Amino acid sequence: MQVTEYKPKIVAFCCNWCSYAGADLAGNNRLNYPDNIKIIRVPCSCRVNPMFILRAFQRGADGVILCGCHPGDCHYTSGNYYTRRRMALLFSMLSYLGIEKERTRVEWVSAAEGAKFAATMNEFSAQVAALGENKRLEDLRCKP
């Protein structure tokens, strides 16, 4: 039996119009990315409440990534602009509290960027894996 390598748990919030479609395209093109990344579909990146991100960490996620349409391409015109401000402030605050900034990311992935989606997920997963388990924003009660 092989020693299983450490696989960080990662939640990826993808907007329905660009990034979720980008993820579909990655699948269409049979581009591989780690299975420890699970996608949650939201209508727009601006639907992602900071509470969801904290919730994910509480429930044992080691990294959270938000994917949305490129700025200017939001299906809802301006949703991702709000996302950008909200997450800039939230991530800055998390870093201020001493939580590793590498655990959170916002990436703009269009419906045409299947390759970018896969590459981003591979890279983010490796980045989070390098940090090891999330110890600074964890709720031990939720650990299995």
Partner 1 sequence: MRKCSLTALDALFAKMAESAALYLPVDGDDGRAHYAQWQEGLHLSDALNTVRSAKDFFFPQTENLMAFKVNGKTIEIIDTRTEADDFIVFGVRACDVRSFDILDTVFLAEPADSYYANRRAHGVIISLACTRPAETCFCSTFGIDASTPAGDVVCWKTDDALYMEAKTEKGSALMAALADLTEECDTDAVKAQQATTKERMAKLPLADLTADKFGGGKTMEFFSDPAWATLSEACLGCGTCTFVCPTCQCYDIKDFDTGHGVTRLRCWDSCMYSDFTKMAHGNPRLTQVERFRQRFMHKLVYYPENNGGVFGCVGCGRCLTRCPISMNIVKVMKNLGGDAK
Partner 2 sequence: MQTVTRDMLVSRAKALLADGTVDRVLGWKAGEFTYDVTPGVFTDADAMEKEFVYGDFCGANFSKYLLTEARKTEKKVLVFLKPCDTYSFNQLLTEHRFDREKVYAIGIPCDGMLDIHKIRTLSAEGVTGIDTDGESVTVHTLYDGDKTVARADALAERCVNCKSKKHVAYDELLGEDGEIIDSARFDEVAAIEKMTPDERFAFWQDALSRCIRCNACRDVCPACTCEKCVFDNPNSGVENKSPANSFEEQMFHIIRAFHVAGRCTDCGECSRVCPQHIPLHLLNRKFIKDIDEFYGEYQAGEKVGSRAPLVDFMTGDLEPSEAVKRGETNA
Partner 3 sequence: MQRIGVFVCWCGTNIAGTVDVKRVADALRNEPGVVFSAEYQYMCSQAGQDMIKNAIREHNLTGFVVCSCSPRMHEATFRKTAEAAGLNPYMVEIANIREQCSWVHKDMEIGTEKAIVLGRTAIAKVNLNAPLTPGESPVTKRALVIGGGIAGIQTALDIADAGFPVDIVETKPTIGGKMAQIDKTFPTLDCAACILTPKMVDAAQNDKIRILSYSEVTDVRGFVGNFSVTIKRKARYVNEEICTGCGLCTEKCPQKKVPNEFNLGMDTRRAIYIPFAQAIPKVATIDADYCTMLKTGKCGVCAKVCTAGAIDYTQKDLIMEEKYGAIVAATGFNPISMEPFDEFAYSQSKDVITSLELERLMNAAGPTSGQFVRPSDGKHPHKIVFVQCVGSRCAGASKGKEYCSKICCMYTAKHAMLIRDKYPDTEVYVFYIDVRTPGKNFDEFYRRAVEEYGVHYIKGMVGKVTPTGDTLRVQASDLLANKQILIDADLVVLAAAIEPDKSARPLATMLTASMDTNDFFTEAHPKLRPVESPTAGVFLSGACQGPKDIPETVSQASAAAAKVIGLLVKDKLVCNACVASSDEAMCNGCSTCERVCPYGAITYADKEFRMPDRTTRIRRVAQVNQAVCQGCGACTVACPSGAMDLRGFSNKQIMAEVDAVCK
Residues forming contacts to partner 1 in the complex (CB under 8 A) are 59-60, 139, 141-142, 144
The residue (of 50 and 60) whose beta carbon lies closer to partner 1 is: 60
Our finding on whether 58 is near partner 2 (CB under 8 A) is yes
Q: Does 59 bind partner 3 (CB under 8 A)?
A: yes
Q: Decide: is 132 part of the binding site for partner 2 (CB under 8 A).
A: no
Among 8, 19, 33, 128, binds partner 3 (CB under 8 A): 33
DSSP assignment string, the chain = -PPPPP---EEEEEETTTHHHHHHHHHHTT----TTEEEEEESSGGG--HHHHHHHHHTT-SEEEEEEPPTT--TTSSHHHHHHHHHHHHHHHHHHTT--GGGEEEEE--TT-HHHHHHHHHHHHHHHHHH-S--TT--GGG--
The site for partner 3, by CB under 8 A, has a size of 55
Output 30 or 141, the one with its CB closest to partner 1: 141
